[in-house]
Amino acid sequence: QPIPSVVEQDRLVSLVPKPMLMEGMGEEPGSRALSYPDFLRYRERSRAFSSLVAYRGVAINLVLGGEPLRVNGQVVSEGYFTALGLQPAEGRLFAAGEKGREAELEVVVSHALWQRILASGRGLGNALTLNGHPFVVIGVAPPAFRGTQYEHDLDVWMPLETAPLVASQFSPSDLQDPERGWLLTFFGRLAPGVDVEDAQREMNLLAGRLAVGRARDKGPSPLELAPGLRIRPGARKALASRLAL
């Protein structure tokens, strides 16, 4: 299905860690989620993609004007909105080359949540309390955009580097540990003139290069490419619709 507001969706590709044959398991395939440091290594070395992105869904307790709300959100790597070709309805979105800063935590909100924020007398530059931490609202997603989450439509997006703050199962060390595989979802936008087969060949080559000097079961997960994003937009009624006035 087309994702509202996302441009040139035929150039988007899902990247899924491949099952691997693990020692001691005979011919039974095992799998190991791709670590964040290994994702960054893929991204730094890839020329087949103009953008490579990682994200994970997270449940958020939000306090707005003293009223508690339960919404769905994502922590996203830099360039998430750029890869989707989105333009903000208000303010700005996270840009490529921009990372989360603990000194100034920032959040992008859905258009539906934005209406509720305006009604509370707040606006851009004001803070929302997300899972106990204040995040400054920097921008608003396009009205029709409902996110890239399989199960839910979304209301907040935060930098992936803030995951240890808003998701209790993660610690700051998880962002640096190459052996700590997160259950992240990955996608990319193909560079001009590159097709899926070209990109798959590059990913296979990079997997081999990144595995040099590492134990067989400690190397980076190879990545299987598939056209499009593996999501179902609108699979559930948007939580944002319950926030709309």
Confidence of residue 74 (pLDDT cuts 50, 70, 90): very high
Average pLDDT over residues 113-133: 92
Q: In this structure, how many other beta carbons lie within 10 angstroms of the beta carbon of residue 89?
A: 18
Q: What is the pTM of this model?
A: 0.84
Helix (H) / strand (E) element for 40: namely helix 36-45
Cα–Cα distance, 78 to 158 (Å, whole number) = 10
Taking the C-alpha atoms of residue 162 and residue 242, their distance in angstroms, rounded to an integer, is: 26
Instruction: Give the pLDDT confidence of 11-66 residue by residue, as tens digits.
Output: 999 998 876 434 433 333 344 678 889 999 999 999 999 999 999 899 999 988 78
What is the per-residue pLDDT for 184?
84
Q: Give the E-state strand segments of the chain in sequence order.
A: 12-17, 20-21, 29-30, 49-64, 67-76, 90-91, 106-109, 127-130, 133-140, 156-159, 185-190, 223-227
Cβ atoms of residues 114 and 107 within 8 Å:
no
